Every structure is written in C-alpha cells, then in structure tokens.
C-alpha cells in the first residue's frame, strides 16, 4: 500500500524551518517522518556538523568555509534568521540550533519510536576519508552495530544509512557498513545542477565543460555501484527518474531499494508510487505523509 513508502525529512522539515537545525529535525519527528536526512561536514577541529554547503554564507550569518572554522565558532553563529525570524520555544533557543552528529543521535535515541537516520557525507572534503572515519567512530561510541546498522534505543532503534555522491566515500564505508545501508546519490546532469556546483567559481564559464564531464563520470560510477550491488540503495534525484524510468524499473526488479530526492509535489510522488519506489526524501514530510495516508 501507499504507506509502505518510507518518508525521510530532507535536512529535517526544511520547508517550514531552517534546514539542518534542531527545529527542523524536531519538527520532522513530530510530523511522523520515518527518517531524517542530514548533511555532514568536518570542522577544522575535527567535529562533525550538520550543514549543507561547504561555506557558511547561505544559511548563517558567518562567512568562510566550514572546514576552516571551529565547532565553537559555528555554535556562535545564527543559523536560523535567514529563513525564520522566530522559532517556537519548544524547539530550543537560537544558540541550540546548530547540530553536531552527536546532537542528532541524542535527539533520535530519545524519540521513543523506531526512526532512521540518513547521513550524507559531503565531498569533496579537504579532509578526505577522515570525514567517514570520524562519523563511524562517533556512531560506534553510541552503540551502533555495523552488522545490523542500528543503534539500540531502549525498546526502539535508530537505523543508520550512509549516502554520498562520491563513489570513493561509499567504497570506503563499505569496509564496515553492510551494502544495504549504503546509498549512491546521483543527479541528472543538467545546467541547473552545474550552475549550483559552480556558483562559487570565478571561472565558471571556462570550467563548465570540464565540470560536466566530471559529473557525468561520477554519475556513471554511482550507477555502477548500484548495478554491481556494491550499494543496496539507489539515490537518484526525481528529475533523473523522470528521464530514466527503465533503469529505475530494472533496479527495483532486481531488489535494489530506491530513495528518491527531493519529492515535494503530488505529481512526483504519484509517479514514484506507480514505479514502486520504496523511499522518498522531502522538504515537507507532513504533506507527503498525508498524501500517503499515514
């Protein structure tokens, strides 16, 4: 039935609240999302923060690279006013909104229900695979069991999956993580995504053909991981699925899971349900859950 589709909150309930904040994550849990998707970057002092961009400007009042700042500095930033002037008091104060991986785990472990955590490892990172190693180390310290991919939480559990656009990140994780908890992300190569990738580049026009080739190469790598069953979850963008229904059907027929992002419209959801996609990632979990009847 429709409610067999599992719903992940994209950076939390980020349609309503600032992405990757305590408020967005708490709201997603309150709305009944099956899982929460978070983006991880490593700070200069080796802490894992939930933040999407490699730079601070878009979603905070800071400037510069996440990788060159400290956790203490990031905690001092305002990561909410760019979107929401006032947060409900129940979701914590302004200074509590920046989340580390540990903060997210504490939140999910205390959810008093089964919940999934999808961590996206953001590359390229100046720290290479130290990003993955730090994430695994923190998870292990919380009782994460690589065999079950779960963290026990009283009578409940937190199931953890790992996502990346980087095939080398996924292959590194595969040394410890079961393939069914690895998700290869890929997007259709369009000018739109390239514009976003190259937004910060002064040489954008000259680099565009190069960047397109690199993205196509990484797209093929990611698809190959799914075809070879080295990862159990295919994570395409919804535009990709619209243009590659045959691949999607073949993956589903072979028993791969599909977790499609970012699914905010009824039309997209209906198309994915017809295909038999098992998981969707959305900025609006409440809306998608009500459409699914759960």
Catalytic residues: 10, 52
CA distances from 268 to 262, 265, 271, 281, 282 (A): 9, 5, 5, 12, 11
Answer yes or no: are the C-beta atoms of 48 and 134 closer than 8 Å. yes
Rounded to whole angstroms, the Cα distance separating 45 from 67 reads 9
Rounded to whole angstroms, the Cα distance separating 8 from 194 reads 25
The token pair that represents 131 in the structure block: 């990003």
The token pair that represents 84 in the structure block: 């929401």
Answer yes or no: are the C-beta atoms of 185 and 221 closer than 8 Å. no
- Helices 266-275, 245-253: crossing angle, 10 deg rounding: 50
């Amino acid at each position: 039935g429709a409610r067999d589709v599992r719903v992940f909150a994209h950076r939390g309930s980020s349609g309503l609240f600032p992405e990757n904040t305590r408020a967005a994550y708490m709201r997603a849990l309150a709305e009944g999302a099956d899982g929460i998707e978070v983006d991880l970057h490593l700070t200069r002092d080796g802490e894992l923060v939930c933040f999407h961009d490699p730079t601070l400007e878009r979603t905070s009042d800071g400037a510069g690279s996440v990788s060159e700042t400290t956790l203490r500095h990031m905690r001092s930033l305002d990561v909410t006013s760019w979107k929401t002037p006032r947060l409900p008091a129940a979701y914590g104060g302004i200074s509590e909104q920046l989340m580390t991986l540990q903060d997210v785990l504490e939140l999910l472990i205390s959810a008093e229900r089964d919940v999934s955590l999808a961590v996206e490892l953001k590359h390229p990172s100046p720290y290479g695979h130290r990003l993955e190693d730090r994430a695994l180390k923190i998870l292990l310290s919380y009782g994460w069991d690589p065999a079950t991919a779960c963290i026990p939480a009283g009578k409940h559990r937190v199931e953890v999956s790992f996502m990346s656009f980087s095939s080398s990140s996924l292959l590194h994780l595969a040394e410890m993580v079961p393939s069914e908890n690895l998700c290869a992300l890929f997007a259709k190569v369009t000018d739109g995504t390239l514009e976003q990738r190259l937004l910060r580049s002064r040489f954008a026009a000259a680099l565009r053909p190069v960047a397109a080739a690199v993205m196509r190469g990484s797209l093929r790598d990611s698809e190959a991981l799914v075809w070879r069953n080295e990862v159990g979850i295919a994570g395409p963008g919804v535009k990709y699925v619209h243009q590659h229904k045959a691949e999607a059907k073949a993956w589903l027929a072979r028993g791969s899971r599909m977790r499609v992002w970012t699914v905010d419209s009824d039309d997209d959801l209906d198309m994915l349900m017809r295909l038999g996609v098992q998981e969707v990632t959305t900025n609006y979990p409440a809306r998608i859950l009500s459409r699914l009847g759960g």
